[in-house]
Structure 1
């Protein structure tokens, strides 16, 4: 099947390659090798597009963030306030209890943060700002002189590891996913112990975000049938895809994101961003990425809502050309495209709502990194706490040659 890339898709590859070079100091070849496979392009092609863009002067250097000029006195005051807020946030697990924590937990906490703050600052601040009090710096030194128990030493190491795992996974893991992540890493630990250490570490999970409404009603009649009937299950990869659009508020205006997700593995197989939702190119670019990265598309069912972008003639002609059957649910019923909206909600909650955004380029770079994490590392409850790529690779590894031929023959 011939791979089709419009100029917008090529420009996106170039932007992400140039960003990797700028952010990580990579060579052009290495940056292409990192970015290209995740967008369904060979690294040689990505290098050709980037070199062409440079020759034509289409690569614009990114401007740094505007920096506020502060005097020395204000810097010290602001830094002290930030340190206090950071420390109180880290100790929020203690504050929720309202009572004095066990001495071993207070000592472990101080040990974790003494390289960031002084012992005196930690003890004084927490004694001042939290109900129930906290150990004094003198009490800390006396307890250290007596020595900690073996359990306290192990807990201290696990607390640091839990913070690291939590941070590397966008700060979204709650007790269940953290427990599975630790066990996958070879750590023998119970669920209740995980919960206790997460409280000590001052970290917690995030609930599901609600996906905003981004559907524009189609002007032409939507004749697509509902081939899914809310049964979001598939026997293998590339049998059922779901698609939807969401938006991101930036300082430069709204940015719109389109995703195509494989139901079998929950893998995001196509995505695209644009600063305008009133274009057919946005979801079409995500669809094209999904098509070129698939092993086979004949027989795939593509399920979406009734948005005008998905009803458009050009979009459905592309589906037909790839042998994909179009499907949609009931008008105005979010449950009929629940899986796609769940992806949008996770995207907003895990990435977008964590900060403010400058423009479409900044969102695009962050989305590229989030999608990579979602596919390769994020543990999904629906997949028995495994990442999508692992589930998909396991399927292709276990499927016999005859089964693979049968899948393609029935497509």
Structure 2
């Protein structure tokens, strides 16, 4: 009998689904690096899943084909929405001459437009005559003309920087705003001013995703015993596994709901455990907590776990699991999102960045959420971590701790 995997079954199944969704476009090693395992480990999970599917036979093929059709329909709807947005440029005045062209139009009154017009028509009418008509000085025009080479160099530099900005923006699914794009550029070794990045992104219409309002889902059980608030809105920690926090959110999938519970390390903001299900029973939060414990190899005694007073977190079953691992429970007040602000902020990021379109199948929703969770841990730069990803922050934190102990 083989050794039991330290990774929960839910995590393994989602990892296999993520690899299969790549449809051969990404290697085992590439997908595995995103989720924090080795390529050989992921390969073995895929092989085991294939063997299990072979034992089950073809009973699930019809449902898989239906889900594939649903996913294709979602993709086509998203493409239709993108094309409709692109058509918005074909409105009234869309046929007007472009700014800076050979003729004036409203908005061309700036000096650059005037200098360009003089430069284009000076052979026909002469610089002096055009400057007199436009009421500008010839010396100003010649100074502008002398700086043409320097402007061309700046434009070339800006164009090259815009190309990199677009690549960064695209590689992060259009979620990064000015600050994170700037941090990514600095991470690549560029010494570029943030205001310049902001100017170019504004000029090109490149922007990150903004916050959206969300519904409150906590349903407290007022008769259940509660735990004291050991965090008191202090969402900072000096060490890993000092404080954790968790919460539940929901995602609409067609005519039903998919519920998601997560556990985050307050020090590193890393997602240590998660669970997704079409119900909101207590095992949703106990499964997420169990995965978090497995991520830390079981060494979690004394960790403070902070949550709201939802019935799942005040239940006897959750208290029993917490006590079993030596985890100290902490709870905020009823109806106060600020008492669990870190988890609330995390959900806003998830819904802003990952769930951008309509979801029609639970399989599709699980895949998109799992893909974002792994991206969040390994690649997404976090402002409170000095624009490092949670995994990078943990690695630096542990290296610094080892050096301190060695000294």
Do both proteins adopt the same fold according to a TM-score greater than 0.5, normalized to the shorter chain? yes
**RMSD of aligned Cα (Å):** 3.9
Q: Which residue of 2 aligns with 1:242?
A: 245
Deviations 1:290-327 (Å, cap 9, x if unpaired)? 11001421111100001111112222211111111111
- After superposition, the Cα gap between the structure-2 partners of 1:401 and 1:325, relative to the gap in structure 1 and judged at 3 Å, is farther
2:170 to 167, 173, 188: 167
Are positions 1:154 and 2:193 aligned together?
no
> How far apart, CA to CA, are the structure 2 residues paired with 1:80 and 1:261?
38
- Structure 2 CA distance for aligned equivalents of residues 398 and 326 of structure 1: 29
How far apart, in 2, do the equivalents of 1:258 and 1:266 lie? 15
- Partners of 1:379 and 1:385 within 8 A in 2: yes
> Does the CA-based 8 Å contact 1:242-1:303 persist in structure 2?
yes
Pairing 1:103-114 to 2, within 5 Å after superposition: 103=100
SS state of the match for residue 309, structure 1? Answer: coil
Q: Which residue of 2 is the match for residue 383 of structure 1?
A: 385
Identify the residue that residue 17 of structure 1 maps to in structure 2. Answer: 16
Query: Gaps (5+ residues) in structure 2?
Result: 74-79, 121-147
SS of match in other structure, 1:245:
strand
Equivalent in 204, 207, 216 of residue 204 of structure 1: 207
Asked whether the equivalents of residues 308 and 331 of structure 2 are also in contact (C-alpha less than 8 Å), the reply is yes
> 2:371 and 2:183 mapped to 1: Cα distance?
22
For 1:266 and 1:326, the matched residues in 2 are separated by 18
Q: Distance in 1 between matches of 2:4 and 2:219?
A: 29
Larger Rg: 2
- What's the counterpart of residue 74 of structure 1? none
- Kindly indicate whether the alpha-carbon contact (under 8 Å) linking 2:15 and 2:42 is maintained by their aligned counterparts in 1: no
Q: Which residue does 2:76 correspond to in 1?
A: none
How many matched pairs? 350
Residue 287 to residue 101, structure 1, CA distance change in 2 (3 Å): farther
1:225 aligns with 2:224: no
Give, in angstroms, the shift of residue 38 of structure 1: 6.0
Decide whether aligned partners of structure 1 residues 324 and 67 sit closer, same or farther in structure 2, where only a CA change above 3 A counts: closer
Following TM superposition, by how much is the alpha carbon of 1:272 offset from its aligned partner in structure 2, in angstroms? Answer: 1.7
Segments of structure 1 that go 5 or more residues without pairing to the other structure are: 69-76, 90-94, 107-126, 405-411
What CA distance in whole angstroms lies between the structure 2 residues aligned with 1:163 and 1:34?
A: 23
Provide the C-alpha distance between the structure 2 equivalents of 1:269 and 1:376, rounded to a whole number of angstroms.
12
SS in 1 for 2:261: strand
Matches within 5 A, 1:85-100: 85=88
Q: How does 1:216-295 map to 2 (within 5 A)?
A: 216-218=219-221, 220-277=223-280, 279-295=281-297
1: CA distance between counterparts of 2:242 and 2:36? Answer: 22
Tell me the TM-score normalized by structure 1: 0.73
Change (3 A) 1:297 1:356: same
Aligned counterpart, 2:369: 367
Secondary structure of 2:275's counterpart equals strand
How far residue 246 of structure 1 moved from its aligned partner, in angstroms, is 0.8
What is the CA-CA distance between 1:132 and the residue it aligns to?
Answer: 4.0
3-state DSSP of counterpart to 1:310: coil
